Chain A
Amino acid sequence: MASIDYPLERPDIEDTGWHFAENLYRWIATVDHKKLGLMYIVSALIFLCVAGVMAVVIRLQLAFPNGHVVDPDTYDRLFTMHGTTMVFLVGMPIVAGLSNYLVPLMIGARDMAFPRLNSFGFWIFLFGGLLLYYSYIGGSGLSGAGSAPDVGWFAYAPLTTKSFSRGHSVDYWALGVLVSGFGSIASAINVIATTISLRCPGMTLSKMPMFVWVMLVDAWLILIALPPLSAGQIMLLLDRYLGANFFNTQHGGSAVLWQHIFWIFGHPEVYILIFPAFAILSELVPIFSRKPLFGRPAMVGAVVAIGFISLGVWAHHMFAVGMTSWSNTFFAASSMLVGIPTGIKIFNWTATMYGGRIRLLTPMLFCCAFLLQFLVAGLTGIMLAVAPFDWQLHDSYFVVAHFHFTLAGGLVTALFGGFYYWYPKVAGRMYNETLAKWHFWLFIIGFNLTFIPLHFAGTLGMPRRIYTYAPGRGWEIWNQLASLGALMQAAAVTLFAWNVIYSAIKGEPAGDDPWDAWTLEWGTTSPPPEYNFEKLPVVRSSRPLWDLKHPNDPDWKYE
């Protein structure tokens, strides 16, 4: 395919004949960052739907006391696979997919620094994901949900040792996640190399779009945080097959050691997952408010600070394991410190809107919902950081509500905004605004209806990960509301999927720059050609298209 004369190829006016095998080959063999980015995102969305269906089954089971929708073992597999999928097969590929598609376009590059590594990363991630799901048909077969993992997404020792997890379910978890982790590490290295070495002329780090800054810090966090998890998983496999006994308490191993290793990865991980939301907000809020991002240097400082502090807070997941009062105090303090840079980010986004002319189109609506929901998540996070309060809340439904407010109310909400925002660039066509508004309201109402009540169930002593509960403990009403909300969210996501597919075929042509935006990706065609830019751009400020559109009042005069 190297013989194709690129400048003549315009995907939007290409002949539409159905060359299935050829197209399939093109996608499989591609090293193009946009195709790989799209494949990452589409796989993530498919996994999101699968894990979403699991969530609906979980909510049906818990809708009423003594539920009988699934049996206990199946329920345990459901919440394990739901959590594992959402974190490793939705959150992580979303990070990789967004960086892949947008970073080269935003910094005016023709591709990522290592296109082949990029392709390797995607395929090894997908292989890891499919290996994990193969567990459903491996082992004891489909009835009884196969031998899917049933140890929870953080797989606490010694439940994962041979004595307590017979069969191969834990092996699928360890290997599947380990392998897909290699993909994330590959993608992180690539993002770092790309942003360091491929920025277009004039784009100093201080002029790099905020989105790219956040994804750069995110890539560093992945590079630092994932290897401990990989090491832990290898240790776990050594335990299971070679008698290493790191975590095998029956042979003198340590259960607490696993928790330290896991959360040294696991806490930076939740920031890794939320950073794409920060990145999206930092682009969308300025564009839809028609003002530059307020306090850019402070925003860069805040995201770097969050990155650093997040590496020193892991044991706030372990306040109940009986650490010394000094350790508990240290980790309570460091966890609360994260609140400061996070607060700075929320304040700066609000200040960006202040005095603007806010266009309340769907992408911006999702950003507004993000701000309020993420505020709640941040504040319940402060509550959990107060160790004595956490002794009550830990492992209860309050925690479930808290992290769904960060990841569904934060990450997923911002992602929907981001998807609608970049959809016209990727598809070349506009999404349907009416359907999108329906999606927004159904999702936001459904989400809050699900997760606000679960805070209350937690304060009434409902522990997480229980497959059933007896009536009369004050949990019924909260669980019923939550289940109702889950159904609304499912309907909302269906509308989203329909909108994405339908608009790709029947949507209005979008044009190159439908939002009147300021970053480089809007300076090329929609969808962008394989080489991105005919001529590499030269920039003088962090809003190059603003400078072009306002030659009398360019940004570089002020920056």
Chain B
Amino acid sequence: MYAFLAWLQTHAEGLPEHRIANIFEPRSTPGDMERHIANLTLGITGIIFVVVGGLIVYTIWRFRRKPGDDSRQEPPQVYGSNQIEIAWTVIPILIVFILIGVSARVIAAIQNASPPHSTLKIRLIGHQWWWEVEYPDFKVKTANEIHVPVNADGHTATYLQLESLDVIHSFWVPQIAGKTDLIPNRVNYMWIDPKEAGIFFGNCAEYCGTQHANMLLRLVVQPQNEFNAWVAQQAQPAEANPVDPGVAQGKNMFESLACVNCHRVQGTTATGVFGPDLTHLMSRQTIGAGVLPMNHQNLRDWVNDPQNAKPGCFMPSMKLTDAELDQVVSYLESLR
């Protein structure tokens, strides 16, 4: 079942899915720089581990008391040696200075890099427990899935402006870049330039309350033309007067309920801002910030009782009858 769903998702988008977010397989410049310094550090510490660990084990083995030893005879009493102390102080100092120098270079290279000339701007706002994604240049708002163009020419990057509306969250898509926190009352920035199309998995990396575990994130990296098409489609408002009578009925139901207090559907009277924008809900791969794959049954279950899949989240069950539920879901399913 799970494998089938994964297959379905992979093929629905036509992009390879990177579920296994290995930090040693980066697909973006910052992630790549971090991998290089990680490998250097691992190499140095690995050598230290082998040498020092080997010495410790050798010493224990070589100088252990053997059964036949005279228990009363004490070994020669050695109190220390200044030369040896100096040697094993100076060598670590040299190693540490190498690491400090390399760290300083990489920190500056990542943090102080000026964005390349064709830069996409995204405003990422953390909420308990979902991500609001805004493209200020295109007047597009979406949630939990960040679409960015692939850096094919070496001059395309995405600049993220990180904010939070409630508590601290942290943006982490391991194959793309290390994490940066989303902090209320503060604006952080980071940049990414994914070099390969695909769907990259990430998580909120700062504990942010009950559903921290299900504050999942997908970075959808698309070729530039597909990205442009996606943006153009997302900028469209929803249908104000649906022709399908079932959908129109559902729309009325949706707008008569408290749904509109929290959710926005662009082009309609639903203008809430506390929950995710639903204008193009069906273009997303998951429900509830990654907690369920998007399909009819899951959507219906979710609207029926979100607390079942994501206990503690702020969306209440509206206690709808089966008929009402069908109407609302058929409306939601028209939001493509």
Interface residues of A (CB under 8 A from B): 71-73, 76, 150-152, 156, 158-159, 163-164, 249-250, 252-256, 289-292, 294-298, 320-322, 324-325, 328-329, 332-333, 336-337, 339-340, 343-344, 346-348, 350-351, 353-360, 368, 371-372, 375-376, 379-380, 382-383, 385-396, 459-461, 463-474, 550, 553, 555, 558-559
Q: Whole-angstrom distance between the alpha carbons of A558 and B78 in the complex? A: 10
- For this complex, 11 residue pairs linking A to B, each with C-beta atoms less than 8 Å apart, are A291-B77, A340-B92, A350-B56, A368-B60, A382-B45, A383-B38, A385-B99, A393-B23, A465-B207, A465-B213, A468-B213
Q: Whole-angstrom distance between the alpha carbons of A279 and B189 in the complex? A: 45
Residues of B within 8 A of A383 (CB): 38, 41-42, 45
* Closest Cβ neighbor of A250 among chain B residues: B184
Size class of B's contact patch?
A: 35 or more
Interface residues of B in 212-253 (CB under 8 A from A): 212-214
A159 x B209 contact (CB < 8 A): yes
B312 x A72 contact (CB < 8 A): yes
Q: Whole-angstrom distance between the alpha carbons of A382 and B85 in the complex? A: 21
Interface residues of B in 33-89 (CB under 8 A from A): 33-34, 37-38, 41-42, 44-45, 48-49, 52-53, 55-57, 59-60, 63-65, 69, 73-81, 84-85, 88-89
Residue of B38, B65, B103, B210 near A359 (CB, 8 A) is: B65
B183 x A321 contact (CB < 8 A): yes
Q: A252-B185, A371-B56, A394-B178 are in contact. Are A290 and B75 (CB under 8 A)?
A: yes
A320 x B75 contact (CB < 8 A): no
Q: Whole-angstrom distance between the alpha carbons of A459 and B186 in the complex? A: 28
A322 x B180 contact (CB < 8 A): yes
Residue of B55, B78, B209 near A294 (CB, 8 A) is: B78
Q: Whole-angstrom distance between the alpha carbons of A387 and B34 in the complex? A: 9
B103 x A353 contact (CB < 8 A): no
Is B208's beta carbon under 8 Å from chain A?
yes
B312 x A292 contact (CB < 8 A): no
Q: Whole-angstrom distance between the alpha carbons of A391 and B30 in the complex? A: 10
Is B123's beta carbon under 8 Å from chain A?
no
Residues of A within 8 A of B107 (CB): 325, 328-329, 332, 387-388
Q: Whole-angstrom distance between the alpha carbons of A291 and B214 in the complex? A: 56
Q: Whole-angstrom distance between the alpha carbons of A239 and B237 in the complex? A: 43
The 9 closest A-B pairs by CB, nearest first: A391-B178, A461-B21, A466-B213, A322-B188, A295-B80, A249-B184, A461-B174, A379-B45, A474-B20
The interface-forming segment of B135-143, B162-170, B295-303, B326-334 is B162-170
Q: A164-B128, A255-B168, A389-B41 are in contact. List 10 more A-B contacts (CB 8 A).
A: A72-B210, A249-B185, A255-B183, A255-B186, A296-B80, A343-B88, A383-B42, A461-B22, A473-B21, A555-B77
A340 x B23 contact (CB < 8 A): no
Q: Whole-angstrom distance between the alpha carbons of A325 and B113 in the complex? A: 11
Residues of B within 8 A of A358 (CB): 60, 63-65
Residues of B within 8 A of A322 (CB): 162, 180-181, 183, 186, 188-189
Interface residues of B (CB under 8 A from A): 2, 6, 19-24, 31, 33-34, 37-38, 41-42, 44-45, 48-49, 52-53, 55-57, 59-60, 63-65, 69, 73-81, 84-85, 88-89, 92-93, 96, 99-100, 102-104, 106-108, 110-112, 128, 162, 166-168, 170, 172, 174, 177-181, 183-186, 188-189, 201-214, 290, 311-312
B201 x A473 contact (CB < 8 A): yes
Q: Whole-angstrom distance between the alpha carbons of A164 and B312 in the complex? A: 13
Q: Whole-angstrom distance between the alpha carbons of A331 and B147 in the complex? A: 34
Q: A298-B85, A395-B206 are in contact. Are A329 and B103 (CB under 8 A)?
A: yes
B38 x A396 contact (CB < 8 A): no
Residues of A within 8 A of B52 (CB): 346-347, 350, 375
Residues of B within 8 A of A471 (CB): 2
Q: A73-B210, A297-B80 are in contact. Are A389 and B34 (CB under 8 A)?
A: yes
Residues of B within 8 A of A152 (CB): 207
